[in-house]
Structures are given as C-alpha cells and as structure tokens.
Amino acid sequence: MSIKANEVLDAKGLACPMPIVRTKKAIASLEPGQVIEVQATDKGSTADMKAWAEGTGHQYLGTVEEADVLKHYLRKASEAEAKEEIKHPHVMELADLRTKIEAGEAVALLDVREPAEYSFGHIPGAINIPLGELEERFEALDKDKAWHVICRSGNRSDLAAQKLTAKGFNKVTNVVPGMSTWDGAVEKDN
C-alpha cells in the first residue's frame, strides 16, 4: 500500500541505536502533526520505535514490511491540538455512532486524520480529508448532509467541525473520543 508521509528517512542498513537516533533528529524538523516514514532493516526497530514514540508523545501509526524493509510511520506530537479551548457544540459518543452504523443507517462520515493514519485503519465508508487540507478541499463535500467528523482523539475533529460550520455547513457533529477507542469494524488500505 502507499501511505502518504511528509518526510521519508532512510535508516536502512543501520543497526540499533541509529534508526531511533536519526528519527529523533528528523522528527525535530517536522511541523506538529506531520508524518514521517522511517525505512529500516533492523528487526528490533519496530518494538523500539513504538516504545520510544509512546514515551515522547509522538504517535506511532504502524509498520509495513516490504521485502526486507520495515517502513515505520510516526506522526509528530501536536501541541496545538491539546490546547484548543472553544468547542464545537454538537458532539456524539463513539458508541452512538457505532449503533447507527451497525443499524445500517447511512452516515456521512469524515475522517480528518492524516492519510497515513487513515491507511492503517478507518471506519468503512469514511471519507478522508486531513484537517490541514480541509480549507482547500471542503467544497468537495455536500453542505446539506449531516456530517460526522472523526479523528484519533476528538481534537482535530473538533477543529474541523468548527471550520465546516464556519463555511456554512449546518449539520456537523463531532464524534468523541475518536479512532483511538474505536472497536468496531475497520478497513485498511493494504
């Protein structure tokens, strides 16, 4: 599968600790919320990348193995998301969304995570427009539909819901918390 990343780091052939040392350096120059693809051949790098990300607040999205190369995807921690204050007034619990979907209701679902996150697992039928691209791409969405916006934790989707409302969408609901606790059906791009 092809997963979109803002930057690709080649750490192939490097033994531990170099893949993480290089990743740490490379991720420092990324914008918050951006995704890095780290290519490594050291088998131990998967577990270490995951544990390192957990400790630093960066988000480990997943690993894809292609031939002998491990491609690790990480999303840089984003402080802005954790700090926002104004909240979109209409929210829906994840469980209620699940009930709707499982009852076969047609739900207009917008997933505003990064394409890489979306690729590693999303709710079937969800449309992907990352928060950062919503400004340019919102016109592709039908304004009259009742949009349910989802992300990982409910923060980016809150910002997206506010943005859509400001653009004239009037039936926007933020789904909380988000994919981090979703245990219903998922679809993957691989």
Partner 1 sequence: MAKIMSTKELATKIVTGEATFILDVRNKDEFDNWKIEGGKVELLNEAYFNLLDGVDSITDKLPKDKDIIVVCAKGGSSEMIADMLEEAGFQNAYSLEGGMKAWSEHLEPVKIGDLKDGGSLYQFVRLGKGCLSYFIESNGEAAIIDTARMIDTYESFAAKKGLTIKHTIDTHLHADHISGGRRLAEKAGATYHLPPKDATEVTFDYTPVEEGNDITVGKTTVKVQPIYSPGHTIGSTSFIIDDTYLITGDILFVKSIGRPDLAGLAEDWVGDLRNTLYSKYKELSDDLIVLPAHYSFPEELGEGGRVAARLGDLYAKNSGLQVDDEDVFRKMVTENLPPQPNAYQEIRKTNMGKINPDLDEQKEMETGPNRCAVEG
* 21 touches partner 1 (CB under 8 A): yes
DSSP assigned state of 113: S
> Smallest distance, Å, CB 17 to partner 1?
4
Catalytic site residue 16?
yes
Nearest CB to partner 1, comparing residues 7 and 48: 48
Total length of the chain: 190
From the list 15, 16, 47, 51, the catalytic residue is 16
Nearest CB to partner 1, comparing residues 47 and 106: 47
* Range 31-90, binding partner 1 (CB under 8 A): 43-44, 47-48, 51-52, 55
Q: Which two tokens stand for residue 102?
A: 């499982």
* 20 touches partner 1 (CB under 8 A): yes
> Smallest distance, Å, CB 150 to partner 1?
30
> What's the rounded Cα separation, in Å, for the pair 12 and 113?
28
Nearest CB to partner 1, comparing residues 74 and 131: 74
Query: Residue 177: which of 156, 149, 153 has the closest Cα?
Result: 153
Report helix angle 45-56 to 18-28, nearest 10: 40
Site residue total, partner 1 (CB under 8 A)? 14
Query: Residue 71: which of 32, 119, 110, 29 has the closest Cα?
Result: 119
